[in-house]
Chains A and B, each alone.
Chain A
Amino acid sequence: MNDFLLIFRRDAGFDAQLTPAQLQAISKPWQDWMGGLAAQNKLADSGNRLAVEGKVVKPGNVITNGPYVEIKEAIGGYIVVRAASLDEAAELSKGCPILTTGGNVEVRQIVPMQP
């Protein structure tokens, strides 16, 4: 079993437009999906959501507000799953609620740093 990072990307404006009631409604499918992964004992880390605001630091002391000036999609959050292969990790991602709102999931194996 290896650990895989699932990175959720979606239109950065998406979260900002939501009312608290809509946010609440969105949280249920996420809880159901993650609860399902956890029931299979494949959720290694329940991860975090990321705030909409961000800064990007570039060479030459250039700091811009957020990555979305140039790209439409921003990282909304991440979790870590346990899977036997990259294919299995991708299979696990199929139920992710982000896919129903136009977002996508990037799946990457975590390679532990050698001490």
Chain B
Amino acid sequence: MSIFMQLIVSGISVGMIYGVIAFGYQLTFATSKTLNFGQGEALMIGALVGLTTINVLIGQSLGTFTAYFLMLPVVLAFGALQGTVVEWLGVRQAIKTKSEAGWIMATIALGIIFKNVAENVWGRDALKFPSPLPEASLSFWGIRIQPMEIAIVIGALGMMLAVEFFNRRTIQGKAVVATASDRDAAGLMGINTSRVITFSYALSSMTAAFAGVLVAPVTLTGATMGAVLGLKAFAVAIIGGLSSGLGVVVGGLILGITETMTGYYVSTGYKDVPGLVLLLLVLSLRPSGLFGKTTIKKV
């Protein structure tokens, strides 16, 4: 029983990372009906920029904890900039010309370019990311948990709640929601919808970069870290539904927990299989996702 609980607890923090990246997919999909297929690379390059920044700060004889917090705004700003570049180079033209698939290739291509840049700047080896919290596990009723795993859950939920708060409480956030529901009508309100779309790309990559520095202390950092995370988060976005914030949290947890369960009870070699089976099931039985909304239009 305690092993079972242990697997659930370990699955939760992995799942929250998937959830927060999937949340990033939703942000751009809501406003533009396009996705950044380089989302995993946004996470990776954010984590590497974070690594360099935190090492510079530690070199200034700051403590790891302080350095981590000072590094966050740099990483968030970098993520926002990176997302803006992706939107400008890869998505804007495709939206303007109403291209169905142009943005898919363009965002994949930009992702590959970011990966190559990372390999040249940071090398091909996985690097250790300094942990701001003690790495020794805490034990609760026999269940072991790393402090950083708790930080991941808090950080991921905090990021999503912050965006939700922005969307509901500020006029700029309301403009984002309006653009997501009806771009034409939002334009009539005086909202510059193409700027809103750029903004959602910036916010989406910022979320990914933040997820990168959240997960980096418990994994390793390197040019290849993004690809698998990006793909699994994409599965989570499909499982949870591209329109539901709750969906990505639940979808992320489902995937994270089934992975640790399969890894323990079946074989680590098969740990990616159940999530992908779930993805296929959802796609065939409920294509809008477990929590996907079917829009009701009153006439």
Do A and B originate from a single complex? no
* Interface positions of A (Cβ within 8 A of B): none
Residues of B within 8 A of A (CB): none
